[in-house]
Structure 1
Amino acid sequence: MSLRWRLALLSATLVAFAVGVITVAAYWSVSSYVTNSIDRDLEKQADAMLGRASEAGFYATAETEIALLGEYASDTRIALIPPGWEYVIGESISLPDSDFLKSKEAGKQILVTSAERILMKRDSSGTVVVFAKDMVDTDRQLTVLGVILLIIGGSGVLASILLGFIIAKEGLKPLSKLQRAVEEIERTDELRAIPVVGNDEFAKLTRSFNDMLKALRESRTRQSQLVADAGHELKTPLTSMRTNIELLLMATNSGGSGIPKEELDGLQRDVLAQMTEMSDLIGDLVDLAREETAETSSIVDLNQVLEIALDRMESRRMTVRIDVSETVDWKLLGDDFSLTRALVNVLDNAIKWSPENGIVRVSMSQIDKATVRIVIDDSGPGIAEKERGLVLERFYRAVSSRSMPGSGLGLAIVNQVVNRHGGQLVVGESDDGGTRITIDLPGEPIRSGFENVDD
């Protein structure tokens, strides 16, 4: 069943319940009012009759007065039982089982038969008066009233179904519009934003859907850009490698004649270097794609991550010294593998650009209660101020580094890792003119040294 029909039937059910309650309450109220009115009228007539019975000389004309009263109220039968009499004045009224006539105390009782409503009342002298009201016409009128209320209620339910369907149709128009927009996107594969009208729940749903479309467009753009950039970056080393391999094949087929041994050795070294460059580039592309889909999911000891990164750099130091001046015990929610790789990339760049016997300076300090800062300085040539923001983009390489091997993805990957962890990376200048990489990350200090960070 569609949502439109469910809403229409739900509203009809609620209306039917309300109409049913109101119909029953109305019928009960009218019926009670009518019977109470009849009882009050009968009691007034009984009081009047008992009052006349207490007057002297009443019984001489009692039959005549009761007969006249019976003619006036043709739907009512009247009987009078004087105290101590076995003779009944007026109509002979058959009473249902009742002990009222056996009692001697003053009071009243109302009896109901299939066709009459009977009131019996006794005064203090013991005189009993009986009024029997014919209820056939009254019951017929109440039955007609009940049928009319039932018809009105049923008509109300049918009208509520129709109105509920109309209201559901009008109310769900924005949802139908959103559905058509989604079907259009599925058909055309165009991630166009849907116009937002109003500020109700459907408008909020449309805004959320537009935000999702925006994220999909950005993801698709990044994917297309990555493929285009990767194709562009892979084209040059592939072309060069192909040329060198063709030369090597030619030399092999000709027995090595015509090409000096030094040039053959150079070609082989070029091919190996280009293969290494290709391997590094493909690895960086894989890392970049992995970072776009990675999720932070565990508590990370940042000091331990830094120590692991420093240990991995031991074999790459060569003549460059790494000086760690300060660290703090810090934990954050993140991915220890990605953070380790990011710090390894930064340290590797710092070592690569530092001169022989140079120093790479590393420090980690807390700058406020929820932020830690890692600073890595090298002693290299540095990065021009106008290029410091550009080196964080994919495949961009500073002018001074274009003659060196590399893909231009290292700092882009590091920046992506830092951003994914809610941090910030800034490229600046070190105290001795080299490059300074500043990484700010969120988290909190570990209060008792290298304790279990999950506690």
Structure 2
Amino acid sequence: MTLRRASSGNNENPIAETEEIEGSMSLRWRLALLSATLVAFAVGVITVTAYWSVSSYITNSIERDLEDHAEILLDRAKSPGFYANVETEIDAFGDYARGVRVALIPPGWEYVIGESIALPEADFLNQKEPGSLLISTTVERILVKRDDTGAVVVLAKNMVETERQLTTLGVILLLIGGCGVLASILLGFVIANEGLKPLAKLQRAVEDIVRTDELRSIPVVGNDEFAKLTRSFNDMLHALRESRKRQSQLVADAGHELKTPLTSMRTNIELLLMTSKNGGHSIPKEELDSLRHDVLAQMSEMSDLIGDLVDLAREERTEVLETVDLNQVLEIALDRIESRRLTVNIDVSETVQWEMQGDDFSLTRALVNVLDNAIKWSPEHSTVRVLLTQLDNETARIVIDDSGPGIAESERELVLERFYRSVSSRSMPGSGLGLAIVHQVVHRHGGKLVVGESDDGGTRIIIDLPGEPIRSRFENVDD
């Protein structure tokens, strides 16, 4: 019986839902909404700023007008005979300042001439010093001003109509802003369609490549970001073409190289089967033993060839690099080649402490291949000479010399190619992949491999690898 835990609706992940929504939204919608958001923000800022600017300007203008009117009336009050006809003067001033209620308290008087205006802050009237006071109520702006004679002018401006106009202005600005946002959405779609045409063209080209499986380059138009993206995509297609070409070449070469030993092995096995059916009397014992030896040798040759092919395919992949002690790698390679020495000596005359970033497994296999070739081609009782030196502060050099027949100068570049075998080595067993694998390993590590001639006419393999000397732990200690 299987128990299942019921999932609760409260365990939903809102972040995942948001990512799903964003992932399902087309790029055109994203650009349009982004432009609409930016325009809405800009329109909002402009609308608020415009409304605040207009409202402040109108309010300040009204307050300046009240201040000017108060100055005019107080100056008029200083004229001779003003207070003899004060009520007439107030009426005349009311006709001049339309929409403004006027009240005047002459110096030393206890009552007010003109309109009856209620003041929220009446303490100002009891003061003796000149000055002014601006009071804002829900419906009026009130200015109280006293001059040096003690006369007080009170002016009141009704703000109901002004507030209504400002409200209307705010609604108009809001409508204009909304229309601007809608227009920005439509304009965003137009801009997105025009701006994404190169991307749509690239998408169609990619779909055509997927459909036809032809890795042909895409034409590049212009020098903008889409052109750079197309160039990068073409570089990727070039790398894919090269990878496919290498894979096809590897399969073709492997098939060609495996065909010959397979054919010979099949023939020899058929002869052995025929011999076993006839009781082993049709072929002499010496020839039968030679036939069995040939089958085993061909099986060994095929095994070596398949191993080399696997190594070559492995080198096509990118390995994880780490710090490698090159001296230790050389020692491991020498230990592995120990059983293959037979009557050939190996002389390691000089080594340096060197470290580099690389793959120790690949480097060890490469050195084993070089040493194995040197031993195989060296005559009996000869010496293979190995040298590890520091070329400069950034490069170490490994030199391996043998005393064999050497490689002709015209073939020294060719032996680094896959499956190529020099004329003198075609009678010997081998796949022609050893030095190709070494060259590939060295090249992948940023190094260089050169095939030359040793001092006694044999083959010299020179391998230059980057890195740096291993510093002693005592070098960093102050004297």
- The TM-score range, normalised by the shorter chain, is over 0.9
Aligned position for 1:310: 334
C-alpha deviations, 1:16-38, integer Å up to 9, x for none?
Answer: 22221222122211221222222
Deviation larger for 256-265 or 333-342: 256-265
Cα deviation for residue 311 of structure 1 reads 2.1
Aligned position for 1:101: 125
1:344 pairs with 2:364: no
Helix, strand or coil: the match of 1:129? strand
Aligned position for 2:262: 238
| Percent of aligned positions that are identical | 79
1:146 pairs with 2:170: yes
C-alpha separation between the residues in 1 aligned to 2:316 and 2:355?
23
C-alpha separation between the residues in 2 aligned to 1:449 and 1:402?
50
Whichever residue aligns with residue 189 of structure 1, its letter is: D
Cα deviation for residue 97 of structure 1 reads 4.8
Helix, strand or coil: the match of 1:440? strand
Aligned position for 1:354: 378
Deviation larger for 133-142 or 222-231: 133-142
1:117 pairs with 2:141: yes
Cα deviation for residue 132 of structure 1 reads 1.8
1:285 pairs with 2:309: yes
Deviation larger for 309-318 or 108-117: 108-117
CA 1:260/1:212 → structure 2, altered by over 3 Å: closer, same or farther?
same
Whichever residue aligns with residue 205 of structure 1, its letter is: L
Aligned position for 2:406: 382
1:444 pairs with 2:468: yes
C-alpha deviations, 1:359-378, integer Å up to 9, x for none?
Answer: 21211111111111111111
Aligned position for 1:372: 396
Aligned position for 1:91: 115
Helix, strand or coil: the match of 2:126? coil
C-alpha separation between the residues in 2 aligned to 1:285 and 1:393?
13
1:203 pairs with 2:227: yes
Whichever residue aligns with residue 330 of structure 2, its letter is: L
Residue 286 (structure 2) aligned to one of 226, 238, 262: 262
Cα deviation for residue 398 of structure 1 reads 0.7
Aligned position for 1:160: 184
Residue 415 (structure 1) aligned to one of 439, 454, 457: 439
Do 2:73 and 2:93's aligned partners in 1 also have CA atoms closer than 8 Å?
Answer: no
Cα deviation for residue 178 of structure 1 reads 2.9
- TM alignment of 1:16-95, pairs within 5 A: 16-95=40-119
Do 2:69 and 2:97's aligned partners in 1 also have CA atoms closer than 8 Å?
Answer: no
Deviation larger for 250-259 or 411-420: 250-259
Cα deviation for residue 246 of structure 1 reads 0.7
Do 1:426 and 1:439's aligned partners in 2 also have CA atoms closer than 8 Å?
Answer: yes
Alignment gaps of 5+ in structure 2? 1-24
Do 1:345 and 1:414's aligned partners in 2 also have CA atoms closer than 8 Å?
Answer: yes
Aligned position for 1:13: 37
Do 1:329 and 1:450's aligned partners in 2 also have CA atoms closer than 8 Å?
Answer: no
Deviation larger for 374-383 or 208-217: 208-217
C-alpha separation between the residues in 2 aligned to 1:98 and 1:7?
61
Whichever residue aligns with residue 299 of structure 1, its letter is: T
C-alpha separation between the residues in 1 aligned to 2:114 and 2:470?
107
C-alpha separation between the residues in 2 aligned to 1:125 and 1:395?
119
Cα deviation for residue 237 of structure 1 reads 0.6
CA 1:125/1:328 → structure 2, altered by over 3 Å: closer, same or farther?
same
Whichever residue aligns with residue 114 of structure 2, its letter is: G
Residue 319 (structure 2) aligned to one of 295, 299, 305: 295
Helix, strand or coil: the match of 2:247? helix
Alignment gaps of 5+ in structure 1? none
Whichever residue aligns with residue 338 of structure 1, its letter is: S
Do 2:346 and 2:385's aligned partners in 1 also have CA atoms closer than 8 Å?
Answer: yes
C-alpha deviations, 1:391-445, integer Å up to 9, x for none?
Answer: 1111111111111111111111111111111111111111222111111111111
CA 1:375/1:258 → structure 2, altered by over 3 Å: closer, same or farther?
same
Do 1:185 and 1:192's aligned partners in 2 also have CA atoms closer than 8 Å?
Answer: yes
Aligned position for 2:417: 393
Deviation larger for 363-372 or 59-68: 59-68
Residue 213 (structure 2) aligned to one of 181, 189, 193: 189
Residue 222 (structure 1) aligned to one of 242, 246, 261: 246
CA 1:208/1:450 → structure 2, altered by over 3 Å: closer, same or farther?
farther
Cα deviation for residue 6 of structure 1 reads 2.0
Cα deviation for residue 294 of structure 1 reads 4.5
Cα deviation for residue 94 of structure 1 reads 3.4
Aligned residue pairs: how many?
Answer: 451
C-alpha separation between the residues in 2 aligned to 1:312 and 1:80?
118
C-alpha deviations, 1:268-310, integer Å up to 9, x for none?
Answer: 1111111111111111111111111141422111112112222
Aligned position for 2:19: none
Whichever residue aligns with residue 250 of structure 1, its letter is: M
C-alpha separation between the residues in 2 aligned to 1:296 and 1:377?
31
Whichever residue aligns with residue 238 of structure 2, its letter is: K
Helix, strand or coil: the match of 1:427? strand
